[in-house]
Amino acid sequence: MRIYHLAAECYPVAKVGGLADVVGALPKYQNKLGMDAAVVLPFYDRKFTREHTFDTVFQASTLMGTRRLYFEVLKERDNILGFELYLIKIPGLLDREEVYMYPDEREQFIAFQIAFLDWISYSQQSPDVIHCHDHHVGLVPFLLNYSKLYTRLANTPTVFTIHNGQYHGVLGWDKVSYLPEIDMSKSGLLDWAGMINPLAAAVKCCWKYTTVSPSYLEELTINSNGLEYLFYLEKEKGSGIINGIDTEVWNPKTDPMIPAKFTPAKQEEGKQKNKQELCERFNLSPDKPLIAFIGRLVLEKGADMLPAAFMRSISEHKDKVNFLVLGAGDVNMELQLTLLKEADPEQYNVFIGYDEALAHIVYAGADFLLMPSRVEPCGLNQLYALRYGTVPVVRSTGGLKDTVIDFGDEGGYGIRFNNVNVDDICHSINRAIALYDNIPHLQLLRKRMMALDFSWDRSAKEYIHLYESLTPII
Ligand code: ADP
Ligand code: GLC
């Protein structure tokens, strides 16, 4: 089966969050299972593209409205990622450093989708499945069916995976002329609440959609930033497949980014060494429990709750706990978290910014990983934490609910709480501190969590079963 994964991010080419981790791993594991999965991304001017060799496999020009776009499709020469990687380059649009946040982001991703479809259409390819990830590529299922340019491909099965249903990529109808030769009698399929809504269009037009956890499939009908009714109507077409993790990249036994490697049997001393290095770097004491947060500093992640929760815990547990934050995002949250450092330099520290290697060291060296998410479609941080023997402290929502069992329940290993408020978070921190004092229990939980299997092997198979259930209409 020839599969094209289409997305805005893919680790290690361009990563902003978990979308990249999934797109960089799932195709590799599908190929191990005998698929022929490839990834198509916009070209970014980043470290990966500068340091690897690419061949031009296609060149053409196309129209986006009245704007002529010259594009080339570049293929990474050595297949070093475990799948074929194609990058679409368009001077001035798809050759930039950052993934998001450009004022013409809508044009950027529309151009990407048109160039992709032109390429597979004119080069006479017939993929078995086109698998689109998130709203940036949400117009593809519509265009395949309702643009006169791509009628040859109209029967191609499409799968759409929702990694984040909060963002829809909406654009005004004034931009409809960007979409090439579409059947305007079908324009209702593009519309939600008077706007062109790529996420809604994808859900309506794809053959099947998936969410990155079963609980999130349910939650979208209650909280999806205005698309609740659509998800209610289209529920039958959806399924929840929990993400896996790339156990080749995230392996404490071999991880080149962590100072001390460790196995489940030797986790005690390995984790302690990593903790020592981490604490030294951040001026914290390795003898206290270390509770960390890693992630985008946005409301979805509950990052706004951290300063008040940490302040209360620090005053309740003077000299008994340490906190460390690694994150970037909302400027005000960055400021609040930075100011907190001045208030308590001994029990708290923060690194504002994005640092992949530091994230690995935090997963390895922390005792607990706090995730007070308001919305968490899957969440990969808790899965990395589990693999590195770090107890996840999570709000019961989405994928966190599906992957973390509270240690108070049979077979459990984590800490769960229900509400995103300071009381619930501090109560969970209290439980974490108490657990840290009970060393045999903590050791038992660490062994238990490190033995869990959240590798892609299982989930990659689930996607393949889904593809196999899609039979093209002849
Ligand atoms: P989301 O995609 O919503 O941000 P996930 O839990 O799926 O959340 O994935 C987040 C990914 O991004 C993880 O690989 C995590 O380690 C990484 N990450 C988030 N923030 C940072 C940061 N500031 N520095 C390094 N890695 C980060
Ligand atoms: C999104 C979600 C996150 C999920 C990731 C990968 O960014 O916010 O929960 O783990 O996508 O699917």
The identity of residue 194, as a single letter, is G
Structure tokens at 204: 């309506």
pLDDT at 471: 78
Q: Give pLDDT < 70 ranges for the chain.
A: 473-474
What is the second-level CATH architecture of the domain 264-452?
Answer: 3-Layer(aba) Sandwich (3.40)
Q: Which-ligand-closest: CA of 399?
A: 2
Which residue's CA is the nearest one to ligand 2's atom 11? 163
Task: Give the Å distance between the CA of 378 and the centre of ligand 2.
Answer: 5
Among the bound ligands, name the one nearest to the CA of residue 378.
2
3-state secondary structure at position 205: helix
CA distance 290 to 278: 10
Q: What share of the chain is helix, strand, coil (3-state, %, to 5)?
A: 40, 20, 35
| Ligand 2 centroid distance, CA of 40 (Å) | 19
* Token representation of residue 138: 């949400």
CA-to-CA distance for 326 and 358, rounded, in angstroms? 8
Round to whole Å and give the CA distance between 245 and 262: 18
Say if 2-244+457-470 and 264-452 have the same CATH topology.
yes
Q: CA 333: distance to chain centroid? A: 21
- pLDDT, residue 125, reads 98
CB 327 within 8 A of CB 352: yes
CB 189 within 8 A of CB 160: no
Residue nearest to atom 5 of ligand 2 (CA): 18
| Predicted local distance difference test score (pLDDT) of residue 344 | 81
Minimal CA–CA distance to 352: which of 363, 339, 338? 338
Could you tell me if the CB of 240 is within 6 A of ligand 2? no
31 CA to middle of ligand 1, Å?
A: 25
164 lines ligand 2 (CB under 6 A): yes
Contact assessment for residue 111 and residue 90, using Cβ atoms and an 8 Å cutoff: yes
- Give the start-end residues of each E strand in 23-147: 36-42, 54-64, 67-76, 84-89, 129-133
Which of 11, 132, 162, 164 most suits a substitution to test ligand 2, by most atoms within 8 Å of the C-beta?
164
Distance linking the first and last C-alpha atoms of the chain? 17
What are the domain boundaries of the chain? Answer: 2-244+457-470, 264-452
Q: b vs e for 320-331, b when ≥16 Cβ sit within 10 Å of the residue's Cβ?
A: ebbbbbbbbbbe
Q: Quick one: which of 188, 195, 142 has its CA closest to 173?
A: 195
* pTM for this model (two decimals): 0.96
Identify which of 9, 19, 21 to mutate to test ligand 1's pocket (most ligand atoms within 8 A of the CB). 21
| Res 473: pLDDT | 65
For residue 283, give the nearest of 343, 349, 336, 334 by alpha carbon: 349
Helix (H, G, I), strand (E, B) or coil at 343: helix
Residue nearest to atom 4 of ligand 1 (CA): 17
Under CATH, which architecture does the 2-244+457-470 domain have? 3-Layer(aba) Sandwich (3.40)
- Nearest-angstrom CA–CA distance, 73 and 283: 48
Q: Report whether residue 212 contacts ligand 2, using a CB cutoff of 6 Å.
A: yes
Say yes or no: CB of residue 21 within 6 Å of ligand 1. yes
* Cross-strand bridge partners of residue 322: 290
